[in-house]
Amino acid sequence: MFTKILIANRGEIACRVITTAKNMGIKTVAVYSEADKDARHVMLADEAVHIGAAPSRESYLLADKIIAACKQTGAQAVHPGYGFLSENAEFAKRVEEEGITFIGPKHYSIAAMGDKIESKKLAGSAGVNCIPGVNDAIESPEKAVQIAQGIGYPVMIKASAGGGGKGLRVAFNDKEAFEGFTSCRNEARNSFGDDRVFIEKFVEEPRHIEIQLIGDCQGNVLYLNERECSIQRRHQKVIEEAPSPFISDATRKAMGEQAVALAKAVKYQSAGTVEFVVGKDQSFYFLEMNTRLQVEHPVTECITGLDLVELMIRVAAGEPLPLTQADVQRNGWAIECRINAEDPFRNFLPSTGRLVRFTPPKATMWQADTKHLMGVRVDTGVQDGGEIPMYYDSMIAKLIVHGTDRLDAIAKMREALNGFVIRGVSSNIPFQAALLAHPKFVAGDFNTGFIAEHYSQGFAAEDVPHEDPSFMLALAALIRRKSRERATALSGQLPGYTVDAGKDYVVVTLAADGKNAYTQVHVDAFEGASGSACVHVGEKRYNISSNSRLNDIAIFGTVNDQPFTAQVERGTAKNPLALRVQHNGTRIDVLVISPRMAELHALMPFKAAPDMSRFVLSPMPGLLVDVAVVPGQKVQAGERVAVIEAMKMENVLFAAADGVVGKVLAAKGESLTVDQPIIEFA
């Protein structure tokens, strides 16, 4: 067994590998870029080596620096995590040639299966059903359009070396095929250093189901059940679960055996995943093989009780697998939500900056611990006060729950999301909560088009209807009552001017358009010691009890004898006196005031936001990589005007209406802030 390994990665996956290595008594070496010098994975490792500037092409993608760091520290093996160099066959080969063990498959397996074009040819020769398409690299956007017309729309344009949703577009017409090909090539070149692109038929209403494999150097390969990964947005997974609520035992066995046969054909060692697209009739087609550990591996660890990272390390050290196919378990149900730094209310645009508050829900399961299951686990590479840089992907954390069945897992996940506090950057937690509450998701009735179908116009606060909105008003009233009660105890109050906590309030629900709602609330039976009260909202009555302090964001308690978790904080950007209440994905901003103050508040004039329609604004922090217009140029609605790169994704900005460009206010190569003007129309 190794005594020291280097993790050639960053973020939560680097922390994940370090945890298992420490449990095994193995020392660890972290590598870091300039942007990650204070990152959590650097602090957790026994040693850390600086390998370059912030952009990944100047640090984490430099094989020479990774190998040099191994030699410098005496690391005997390299774990690549996922992304970056994890599926780079040349890197794996070079590592082995330097006498360092690559904790992953052999380079020839990566070369055979990591290349999306060649892997399809191999799968076809092995008798695996493949999706119709052209598996040879395409030279030009014009050729891409011609091929797409031949296959028939819709088609999927895909980078050969792609992964994680990068270098992938679905086109429904010639224009989308032309533009999608160009964007795919650019993303693939920037993310993977390989701009080959191919096209295949896009199967409508498909399920994305993958089989987890583990193989050793003795020729044994096992499948560790499946993962359901159909809840995707822009081809990036949002929620994963294991097992799938869709496939039968017979389909599971057939997919597993086919995946094993494919892996054995390329002498596969280590952990890997074979991805399938599955039709309504449970017919399945090979998509690709990921020759690495997957982001969503924790859900498999929950239902099987296996530490996949430990198995990878042991297999790389030459040990045989410690179990047979018959030993593979399937206990309970696990769900993972990817918590990303993006703003769901601004079309999921990336959000970067400092984590002012980062308080995950209380964990009862931990990485590399297969004994304590049936609970909540948080995998993350960040911490309070840390930075979310714009150079890497947007994932902040992975929230994993394990329940006795699917409904139990959903309930645990909803409660865990309620208590996940993230401030300083926006996160997709409200969207995750909405998905988990959607009747079709709860019923298991979904496919990869679920988000596009149900949130085709984007995501807005009203897309999360709360099952009992009066509860949120009652909670706000109780928090205000607590605050007023504390104020009554202040010393030095003048006679006749002492604070009266009162019992009658009006909760003003603040609306962006100024059309506020006013609700009468009565609070009685208040007890400061227990933090309890009876709150009346119309005909409804809420007996709420909570010992959470006034400065706590996460509020834990009971309402009518049922436990709840919610978030309440004082002050918003627009109103420092408001309370922001969040529960089950719904967020409201309210004022809790006296009836007389409510009468006066209703008379206040509404101040509308300034008209910025003449400007093209940067919707996110990022790098301006292209400005496609010049002053004086006539532009039509829908015409491309600029391209911003953030978190490894290209975001194209289009003109909202016809017009003439007056000024270009930002230069190519400039770092932009949110809402920074780029172009002004005359």
Average pLDDT over residues 119-141: 83
DSSP letter, residue 409: H
Question: Distance between CA 79 and CA 30 in Å, rounded?
Answer: 10
Q: What is the tens place of the pLDDT at every residue in 594-622?
A: 999 999 999 988 887 788 888 999 988 88
Question: Distance between CA 433 and CA 623 in Å, rounded?
Answer: 31
Nearest-CA neighbor of 117 among 166, 159, 170? 159
Tally of CA atoms within 13 A in the half-sphere of 527 that contains its CB = 10
Catalytic residues: 288
Q: Three-state DSSP class for 267?
A: coil
Strand partners, 240: 336
On the question of pLDDT at 118 being above 90, the answer is: no
pLDDT bucket at 473, cuts 50 / 70 / 90: very high
On the question of pLDDT at 93 being above 90, the answer is: yes
On the question of pLDDT at 164 being above 70, the answer is: no
Query: pTM for the complete prediction?
Result: 0.84
Question: Distance between CA 389 and CA 36 in Å, rounded?
Answer: 9
Q: What CATH number matches the domain at 615-681, 2.40.50.100, 3.40.50.1820, 3.40.1280.10, 3.30.365.10?
A: 2.40.50.100
Question: Distance between CA 471 and CA 537 in Å, rounded?
Answer: 8
Q: Is the dihedral of CA 260, 266, 267, 270 positive or negative?
A: negative
The reply to whether CATH 3.40.50.11540 applies to domain 4-103 is no
Provide the token pair at 84. Answer: 């970056």
Q: Count the neighbouring beta carbons within 10 Å of the beta carbon of residue 500.
A: 10
pLDDT bucket at 190, cuts 50 / 70 / 90: confident
CATH architecture under which domain 469-487+500-601 falls: 2-Layer Sandwich (3.30)
Q: Which of 95-104, 152-161, 231-240 has the lowest mean pLDDT?
A: 152-161
- For domain 207-459, the CATH superfamily is ATP-grasp fold, B domain (3.30.470.20)
Q: What is the tens place of the pLDDT at every residue in 526-539?
A: 888 788 999 999 99
Q: Three-state DSSP class for 353?
A: strand
Following CA atoms 443, 448, 449, 451 in sequence, which dihedral angle do they give, to the nearest 10 degrees? 70
How much is the pLDDT for 3? 97
Q: What is the tens place of the pLDDT at every residue in 619-644?
A: 888 889 999 999 999 999 888 999 99
Q: Three-state DSSP class for 50?
A: strand
Mean pLDDT for the chain overall: 92
Question: Distance between CA 186 and CA 550 in Å, rounded?
Answer: 50
Domain boundaries, the chain: 4-103, 132-201, 207-459, 469-487+500-601, 615-681
pLDDT bucket at 502, cuts 50 / 70 / 90: confident
Average pLDDT over residues 659-675: 90
As a whole-number percent, the residues of the chain with pLDDT over 70 amount to 99
- For domain 132-201, the CATH superfamily is ATP-grasp fold, A domain (3.30.1490.20)
pLDDT bucket at 114, cuts 50 / 70 / 90: confident
How much is the pLDDT for 108? 94
How much is the pLDDT for 458? 87
